[in-house]
Amino acid sequence: MSDKLKLATVWLDGCSGCHMSFLDIDERILDVAALADLVYSPLVDNKQFPEMVDVTLIEGAVSSEEDYHKIRHVRAHTRILVSLGDCAVTANVPAMRNRFKVEAVLDRAYLENATLNQHIPIEVIPPLRKQSIPVHQVVPVDVFVPGCPPSADNIFYALTELLAGRMPELRTRTHFGA
């Protein structure tokens, strides 16, 4: 059994761009791998969130009932929770639907804008909550990494600082949208 730190990444309501930016750290992934094992992520096979993870990066807002229950579970099993990207930090793009009722959003997506197979799915797609909200409105968040997406350099910096036991200083490196 490895004695390295445990790292996880979680995908809530986001476009996967933050995960793509994480992968853009390129060969520096080897530096991360020297410090931590990636134990849960859309990028690995494990479907069960481990009993305790040292650092978890969260992409996306909390938009569905599934997101809500997942983030509460992840928070309970994570030492340091990181909101990664503007959707996690502010709800950003997912929150654009907040001024409309859920029924109107579903009608628009699955009926008005569909040319084939027009129907609102009631299986597989988790029910939407009334509003898309940032992660910290559901659970406490320890570190915020803004950007849409955050740059690979900033992700690498934040991650390696956290894995080294230090709190990253991101205020001068990041801002909303970049």
Binding site for ligand SF4 (CB under 6 A): 14-15, 17-18, 59-60, 85-87, 92-93, 148-149
How far apart are CB 173 and ligand SF4 at their closest, in Å? 16
How far apart are CB 44 and ligand SF4 at their closest, in Å? 19
Contact 55, 10 (CB under 8 A): no
Return the number of the residue (20 or 111) whose C-beta is nearest ligand SF4: 20
How far apart are CB 90 and ligand SF4 at their closest, in Å? 9
Which of 28, 30, 48, 31 has its CA nearest to residue 39? 48
User: Residue 58 forms beta bridges with which residues?
Assistant: 10, 83
Q: How far is CA 105 from CA 36, 87, 93, 121, in A?
A: 40, 18, 14, 13
How far apart are CB 123 and ligand SF4 at their closest, in Å? 25
Which of 150, 145, 148 has its CA nearest to residue 171? 145
**DSSP track, 22-90:** HHTTGGGHHHHHHHEEEEESTTSS--S--S-EEEEEEESBEEEHHHHHHHHHHHHTEEEEEEESHHHHH
Return the number of the residue (160 or 174) whose C-beta is nearest ligand SF4: 174
How far apart are CB 39 and ligand SF4 at their closest, in Å? 22
Return the number of the residue (36 or 61) whose C-beta is nearest ligand SF4: 61
Q: For tokens 């933050």, what's the residue?
A: 18
Return the number of the residue (14 or 168) whose C-beta is nearest ligand SF4: 14
Return the number of the residue (85 or 168) whose C-beta is nearest ligand SF4: 85
Backbone angles phi, psi at 130, to 5 degrees: -60, -35
Whose CB is nearest to ligand SF4?
Answer: 17
Return the number of the residue (78 or 132) whose C-beta is nearest ligand SF4: 132
How far apart are CB 20 and ligand SF4 at their closest, in Å? 8
